[in-house]
Chains A and B, each alone.
Chain A
């Protein structure tokens, strides 16, 4: 899949999730997405330390 196809698919998935939700619920989803990426960064930091 090209970068364009991947980006389009992700944006369609986001559309299915977010459309129709209240702004308050959309805010919650954004916050949870942020938590996922924060956790991912932390896991990467731990793995890097262990490997170093």
Chain B
């Protein structure tokens, strides 16, 4: 089964009807479910995002609860990984890329969860160039390579 990993920007836009990408995200989710694909995210990465989003703002308690609620509603699996394995991979990526730790938790999560696609609306930090840097490390370590794109790009690849 094809496994699609959802990064934080996707989850936020899905949970917020006023977000610029909300309708596109909902259509993306509906289409993926029609294909019968598995929708996943890394528990540690999402919990870290929500906890830091709450403590440092910009998230409010209601926002975080709504994100968890839509994940249940859309049957997005929140899967746990061994934290040490996850962090060791993030730290290896850190040495080879200029990406932020929070981004890398999702890259490492997607890789270790054997996702086929990593989806994000943040094209500055999730794009073809960053995909190549991440996959260089993954190939060297014998890990699965991932394809990174926006929901629109992923749907185009799948059709």
Contact = CB atoms under 8 A, between A and B. Distances in A.
Interface of A: 1-4, 6-15, 17-19, 23, 26-27, 29-34, 36-37, 40-41, 44
B20 A32 contact: no
A37 B64 CA distance: 9
B48 A14 contact: yes
Majority secondary structure of chain B interface residues (helix, strand, loop or mixed) = helix
Closest 10 pairs between A and B when the two form their complex, measured CB to CB: A11-B102, A14-B102, A33-B51, A3-B13, A3-B12, A7-B9, A15-B100, A36-B51, A15-B101, A7-B8
B68 to A, nearest CB: 7
A10 B105 contact: no
B154 interface: no
Interface in B1-33: 7-10, 12-13, 16, 19-21
A13 B52 contact: yes
Given A4-B9, A27-B83, A40 B61 contact: yes
A36 B49 CA distance: 11
Contacts of A34: 43-44, 47, 51
A18 B101 contact: yes
A19 B95 CA distance: 11
Nearest to B50: A37
B54 interface: yes
A13 B55 CA distance: 10
A8 B8 CA distance: 9
